[in-house]
Amino acid sequence: MLTWKSWTRGIGLSAVALLAGIFAGWTTIDLITGGKTDDAGILDFALEGAVAAMVVASIQRLAMRSPRPRAVPFVLASAGGMAVGWPAGELISEALGWIVSFAVFGLSIGTAQWLLLRSRMPSASAWIPCSAVAWAAAAVFVQYSDLNFLLALILGMGSFGAISGGFLVWWPVRVGKTA
């Protein structure tokens, strides 16, 4: 049964997951490059993505209703997906913009997470496009906004949380797979 508590918990945790993951990734790339992020290479971006994904997945897993995937495989699969997707997204960001770049992030982490969710939730493949849309929605406010950065970030977190957190809470109930 869905309650307001489960909805707000899922949405809130997912929003926090995005913020914490992005900042963990930014901190990682800053430490690796000594603050000269323009000099970052593919491996630097891969590590940035893996760190961001580990944080996002750790917190997102808490937002999930039962049955949850085991923590370590879920976090490691997410990191692996983003180690591929983050550099790809960074490479296309100049040409195609941050919304497409973030959609690539979402596809990569969503696909990696789906590999573990598919044994626990029927039709778990729906998580892949949901993840891509959630990540892209987060970028909309930053790319196409005249708002100050903090407000754009808050709105981006909210949209990511509403889409991904809402799905993680609602989908298992919809398909009848909650403990």
Look-up of token digits 């630097």: 44
Q: Is residue 179 part of a domain?
A: no
Q: Is residue 147 part of a domain?
A: yes
Under 8 Å between Cβ of 32 and 58: no
pLDDT at 74: 95
Helix axes 166-174, 127-143, angle to 10 degrees: 160
Q: Is residue 74 part of a domain?
A: yes
Q: What amino acid occupies position 33?
A: T
Burial 105-135 (b: 16+ CB within 10 A, else e): bbbbbbbbbbbbbeeebeebebbbebbbbbb
pLDDT in tens, 116-143: 998 887 788 999 999 999 999 999 987 7
pLDDT tens track, the chain, 179 positions: 678 888 888 899 999 999 999 999 999 999 998 988 787 889 999 999 999 999 999 999 998 877 788 999 999 999 999 999 999 999 998 899 989 999 999 999 999 999 999 888 778 899 999 999 999 999 998 777 777 888 888 899 999 999 999 888 888 777 766 54
Q: What angle do CA 179, 59, 77 make, to 5 degrees?
A: 85
What are the respective helix, strand and coil percentages of the chain, to the nearest 5?
80, 0, 20
The number of domains in the chain is 1
Ramachandran angles phi, psi of 70, nearest 5°: -60, 145
- Distances from the Cα of 81 to the Cα of 28, 92, 107, 167, angstroms: 17, 17, 9, 20
Its pTM stands at 0.89
Q: Is residue 57 part of a domain?
A: yes
pLDDT at 177: 61
Q: Could you give the CA distance from residue 147 to residue 172 in angstroms, rounded to a whole number?
A: 36
Q: Is residue 84 part of a domain?
A: yes
> Which residues span the domain enclosing 163?
4-174
Under 8 Å between Cβ of 118 and 127: no
Q: Could you give the CA distance from residue 144 to residue 141 in angstroms, rounded to a whole number?
A: 6
pLDDT at 131: 96
Q: Is residue 163 part of a domain?
A: yes
How many whole angstroms from its chain centre is CA 169? Answer: 15
Q: What angle do CA 6, 53, 163 make, to 5 degrees?
A: 40
